[in-house]
């Protein structure tokens, strides 16, 4: 039977997970927050009029935030799910954003070498089975001096009851924040501690969703004394 996805290794999302990606919570508390955080991690002002690639663009809910925050000249969206791409097309039209949409696997991106100014990878990498191949493709398509915007949940969030219950992921490839950053560095991307953040957001802590802290009954442990649930980084391909 023919694979209905653009990737032989695509891990199909659950119906609940697919519906969640259309919610206000996802758009306002996850996407918006991540993109704003990534912008402040740039070592210098983001390039103007950039060609921006959104890998794993899903239903296109990131397009309006990327346009407002980074003002790219062009957005290209890639996803392995044809249904998501159709919804991305509708979202781009609704937001009056010109977006080129491509059905493809992140491990085999059908774009030229050194053709992308900014690559946006938000909550996509932990879905990918062929992570090494995908990262090599990211590096290939980004221009020298271009940026990778990397925002991911770590294994300390993915491997929790609530995520296992409602979502679907390839569990054997999940990594810690340190492991992701090491992988990115080994690929050749440049960054330092000022280009990395470790958001400890309420929705990423499945044990109590930060309830005690919101009630001011507990102080969250500092970076270095906790298992990081999220990692955001702005990384540069050297000239």
Strand partners, 77: 54, 101
75's CB contacts (< 8 A; 6+ apart) are 52, 53, 54, 63, 66, 67, 92, 97, 98, 99, 100
Here the contacts of 67-70 (C-beta below 8 Å, separation 24 or greater) are 67/95, 67/97, 69/35, 69/36, 69/39, 70/35, 70/39, 70/46, 70/118
Q: So where are the chain's domains?
A: 15-236
Instruction: Indicate the pTM of the whole model.
Output: 0.91
154-206 pLDDT, tens digit each? 999 888 777 777 777 888 999 999 999 999 999 999 999 999 999 987 767 76
Beta strand ranges found along the chain (DSSP E): 51-55, 74-79, 99-103, 116-122, 142-153, 196-197, 230-236
Instruction: Please give the Cα distance from 176 to 192 (Å, whole number).
Output: 18
- CATH top-level class for 15-236? alpha beta
178-190 pLDDT, tens digit each? 999 999 999 999 9
């Amino acid at each position: 039977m023919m694979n209905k996805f653009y990737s032989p290794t695509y891990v199909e999302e659950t119906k609940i997970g697919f519906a969640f990606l259309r919610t206000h919570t996802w758009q306002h508390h996850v996407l918006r927050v991540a993109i704003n955080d990534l912008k402040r991690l740039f070592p210098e002002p983001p390039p103007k009029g950039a060609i921006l690639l959104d890998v794993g663009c899903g239903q296109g809910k990131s397009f309006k935030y990327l346009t407002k925050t980074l003002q790219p000249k062009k957005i290209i969206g890639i996803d392995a799910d044809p249904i998501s791409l159709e919804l991305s097309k509708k979202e781009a039209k609704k937001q009056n954003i010109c977006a080129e949409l491509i059905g493809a696997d992140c491990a085999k991106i059908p774009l030229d070498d050194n053709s992308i100014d900014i690559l946006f990878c938000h909550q996509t990498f932990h879905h990918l089975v062929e992570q090494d191949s995908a990262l090599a493709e990211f590096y290939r398509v980004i221009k020298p001096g271009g940026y990778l915007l990397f925002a991911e949940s770590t294994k300390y969030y993915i491997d929790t009851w609530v995520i296992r219950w409602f979502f679907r992921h390839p569990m054997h490839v999940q990594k810690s924040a340190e492991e992701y950053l090491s992988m990115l560095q080994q690929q050749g991307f440049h960054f330092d501690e000022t280009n990395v953040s470790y958001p400890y957001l309420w929705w990423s802590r499945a044990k109590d969703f930060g309830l005690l802290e919101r009630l001011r009954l507990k102080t969250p442990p500092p970076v270095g004394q906790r298992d990081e649930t999220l990692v955001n980084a702005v990384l540069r391909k050297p000239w």
